[in-house]
Chain A
Amino acid sequence: MAKVLVVAEIKQGVLKSSTPELLSKARAIGASTAVVAIGSNIESLVPELAGAGSDTQYIADDPGLELFSAGPVAACVVDAARQFGASLIWFGFSESSKAVAPRVAAQLDAACATEINDISLNGDQIEVIRPAITNKVMQRVKVNTEKLVAVVRAGAFEATEGISGTENVVKLSPPEMDLKALVREILTDASGEIDLADADIVVSVGRGAKDQAGIDLVRGLADDLHAGFGSSRAMVDGGFMAHNKQVGQTGKIVAPTLYMAIGISGAIQHLAGMSGSKVILAVNKDPEAPIFNVADYGIVGDLFEVVPILQEEIRKIKAKQ
C-alpha cells in the first residue's frame, strides 16, 4: 500500500486548506496517511491535523522554526518521511514548498515533480500530470523511482467531507539551524489581510489602474467582497504592490471561486496563475485584450468608471440576499 506523507501548510498558526485536500486525495487512492507539521507553537493543531484525515502526526515544534528556513524544514520532512517509510511526499503549493521539495527529493534520492495537477497510481507505477511551457501544454510524467516528492497546484484536489484520522503524535527532534543561510528577518506585509492562496474571491489589479489612487479604488472593491487582493507583475514592478501579492507564473497560483481581473491584459504568465479559477470576470477598456479569451464575463470599459458601479451593484445584490 502506498504511504503518503503530507507536509502541513501552516501560516501564522493557521492550517491551510491544502492539507485536508491532499489528505483527502491520499485516502481516495487508498494510501495510508501521515502528516508532518513544522513550526513554532503548532502542537495545538494536532486534533485538526488528525481530523483532516491523517493517522500519524509528525510534529516538529521548536522556537528555532519560527522564521522559515528551507534547510531545517527539509530536514524535518526527511526525518518524518524516513520514519513513516513514505513513498509519496506531498506539499501544497507555496513558495516555501517550492524551496523545500527539491531538497527533500535530493536527500531521499527520489523523483521530484512540482506544480502537479493530478497523480495516479497503477500498482507501483506512479504518474503525474502537470502543466509546462508556461501552462501552454500539459505533460504526463512517469516516475521511475519508488519515491516521489510532489508539489501540488492550488485547487487540484478537493477536500472530502466527513473523513477523519486518528491522533498518533510522533515528536521530531528539532533540526540544526542552517548557519550558512541565516534568516535574519522576514519583512511582512500588512497582516490581517485575506490570504490570496485560500481566498474564495480574488480581486487583482493591473497596470490599467495606473497609480496608487487607481489601486486604492480596486482595493475598495476587494474589501467589499472580503476578497484577497492581488495584482499583475506590472504593478509589483512599479513598486505599488508587494511581491507576495503577484498572481502568475512567478507569483501566486490561485484558483478561487471568483477571480476578478481589473485592468489586466492577460499575458500568458498572468494566465498561468489564475486560469484554474472557477469563474473569471475581466474589466478592460480594450475589447481585444487577451484576458477576455479566458473570462466567463467580460466588461469592456474604463475601470475608473466601472469599478464604482460594480461596488454599487454588488451592494444592492447583497442587500437583497
Chain B
Amino acid sequence: MKILTTVKKVVDVELNMHVKDGALVEDGMQYVTNAWDENAVETASQLKENNGAETTLVSIGGGDNTDIIRRCYAMGIENGIHVDDPALEKADSSIYAKVLQKVYEAGDYDLVITGKQAQDTDSGQTGIILAEYLGLPCVSNVIALEVIDDQHIKVSRSGDTGTEIVELTLPAVISVDVSINEPRLPQMRGIMMAKKKKITEMDLAALGTSADEVGADAPKSEIIEFMASQSRQAGQKFEGDAAEITAKVVDLLANEAKVI
C-alpha cells in the first residue's frame, strides 16, 4: 500500500495573534506542523509498521517548510515532497487541492491521508475537494482505521448522530481527527537520520503544471482583511464560601441574566 500524507506548516495558535491594518502581525509568530497533520503522519507511520505501507508526504509552502518535513521523517515517513512556488502565495483550498492532485497523479498512491483541518484556515476542505478532483471516495473526520485487505479499509467517522462505520475501496482519501491517535514524539536517533534524508523539491513547472492550470491566477476566494476577534470580556468572578457564592450566582442567572 502506498500512502500520501499531506502536511501543512501553520502559525502556532497557542501564541497571541495581533492584527494591524487588516493584516496579521508576523513579528513574534512561530510556525509548527499543523496538529491534525501530525495525526495523519502518525496514521501513515502505523500503517508502515503494521501493514508494510510505503509512506510519502507532501507539503506545499514557502522555503522553510523543510524543518517540518524532517520532523515528519523522524516520525517515520520515508519520502518527502516539498512544493514551493511563488504563484501559490495566496492559494485557497481549491488551488492547494489542484496542486495535490498533480502530486497524487505523479505517484501511484492507494491512500491519501490529510488532516481534518488546518489550524490557520480552520477550513477542513482541502482533502475533500482533492477527492472530488480525483474522483475518489472520501471519508472525513476519521477517528479509527482498520485495513481489511489490499483494496479495502474500514474507517470510523465521528458524525452528527454517532460513529459512522464506512468501508472504503482504495484508492481513497481520508481526513483524520486528532482523536485517531497520539502522535509520537520524534526520538533523537530519528532526528539525526532525518537530517541526512533527501527532500524532493518541486515547483509548479516540475509538477508539469502552471499557475493558470491550478487556478492560482484567479483564486475562487481571497482573504482581503484580518480583524481582531470580538473577544468576550471577563465578567464577575466569585470566591469564598461555596454555598454563599453559588446562591449569589444562581440569583444573578435568574434575575440579572434571566437565563434560567
Residue interface bits B76-106, CB-to-A below 8 A is 1, else 0? 0000000000000000111001000000000
B169: nearest residue on chain A (CB-CB)?
A: A180
List residues of chain A with CB under 8 Å of any chain B CB: 11-12, 67-71, 94-96, 98-99, 101-103, 105-107, 110-115, 127, 129-145, 178-189, 201, 225, 233, 236-237, 242-244, 249-250, 257-258, 268, 272, 275, 278-281, 287, 292-302, 305-306, 309-310, 313-314, 316-318, 321
The complex places the Cα of A70 from the Cα of B122 at a distance, in Å, of 20
Q: A243 contacts B138, CB within 8 Å?
A: no
Docked pose: A130 CA to B117 CA in angstroms: 15
Q: Which of A183, A225, A296 has the most CB of B within 10 A?
A: A296
B227 at the interface (CB under 8 A from A): yes
Inter-chain contacts of A145 with B (CB < 8 A):
220-221
Cα distance A318–B251 in the bound complex, in angstroms: 11
Given known contacts A179-B169, A309-B247, what 12 new A-B pairs fall within 8 Å (CB)?
A: A106-B133, A111-B94, A112-B220, A131-B122, A134-B13, A140-B223, A181-B139, A183-B164, A187-B162, A189-B161, A294-B234, A295-B235
Given the complex of chains A and B, what is the CA–CA distance between A253 and B171 in angstroms? 32
What residue in chain A is nearest B175 (Cβ atoms)?
A99
Whether the Cβ atoms of B17 and A243 lie closer than 8 Å is no
Per DSSP, chain A at the interface is mixed
Contacts of A70 in B (CB 8 A): 128, 138-140
User: Taking the nearest CB of chain B, how far is it from the CB of A79, in angstroms?
Assistant: 16
Q: Tell me which residues across on chain B come within 8 A of A101, comparing CB atoms.
A: 125
Residues in chain B near residue A287, CB distance under 8 A: 237, 239
Q: Are A139 and B227 within 8 A (Cβ)?
A: yes
Tell me, yes or no, whether B196 is within 8 Å of chain A by CB: no
Cross-chain contact A144 with B237 (CB below 8 angstroms): no
Alpha-carbon distance between A178 and B14 when the two chains are bound, in angstroms: 40
The 25 sampled A-B contact pairs (Cβ below 8 Å) are: A68-B160, A99-B141, A114-B123, A115-B123, A132-B226, A133-B11, A135-B122, A140-B226, A141-B223, A143-B221, A145-B220, A179-B169, A183-B164, A187-B163, A225-B260, A244-B162, A250-B178, A295-B237, A297-B238, A297-B252, A298-B234, A301-B239, A309-B247, A317-B251, A321-B254
With A68-B164, A300-B237, A310-B246 known as contacts, the answer to whether A279 contacts B253 (CB < 8 A) is: yes
Residues of B within 8 A of A (CB): 11, 13-14, 16-17, 19, 24, 36, 92-94, 97, 116-117, 119-125, 128-129, 131-133, 136-141, 143, 154, 158-169, 172, 177-179, 218-232, 234-239, 242-243, 245-247, 249-254, 257, 259-260
Q: Give the complex CA separation of A101 and B97 in angstroms.
A: 15
Instruction: Determine the distance from Cα of A143 to Cα of B139 in the docked complex, in whole angstroms.
Output: 27
User: How far apart are A320's CB and chain B's nearest CB, in angstroms?
Assistant: 9
4 tightest Cβ-Cβ pairs between the two chains A and B? A106-B132, A296-B235, A298-B237, A180-B137
Write the chain A residue with the least CB distance to B241. Answer: A301
With A68-B159, A281-B253 already in contact, the answer to whether A183 and B165 are too (CB < 8 A) is yes
* Residues of chain B within 8 A of A181, CB atoms compared: 137-139, 166-169, 172
Given A131-B122, A137-B229, A300-B239, are A313 and B160 also a contact pair (CB < 8 Å)? Answer: no
Given contacts A98-B140, A244-B161, A309-B246, contact A112 B125 (CB under 8 A): yes
Q: How far is the CB of B101 from chain A (nearest CB, A)?
A: 11
User: Residue of A at shortest CB range from B122?
Assistant: A132
> Which chain A residues lie closer than 8 Å to B247 at the CB level?
309, 313
Contact across chains for A102 and B161 when beta carbons are under 8 A apart: no
* A94 neighbours in B (Cβ, 8 Å): 160
Bound: A180/B246 CA distance, A: 55
For the complex, give the distance between the alpha carbons of A233 and B179 in Å: 9
Cα separation A147 to B57 with both chains bound (whole Å): 33
Distance from B134 Cβ to chain A, minimum over Cβ atoms (Å)? 10
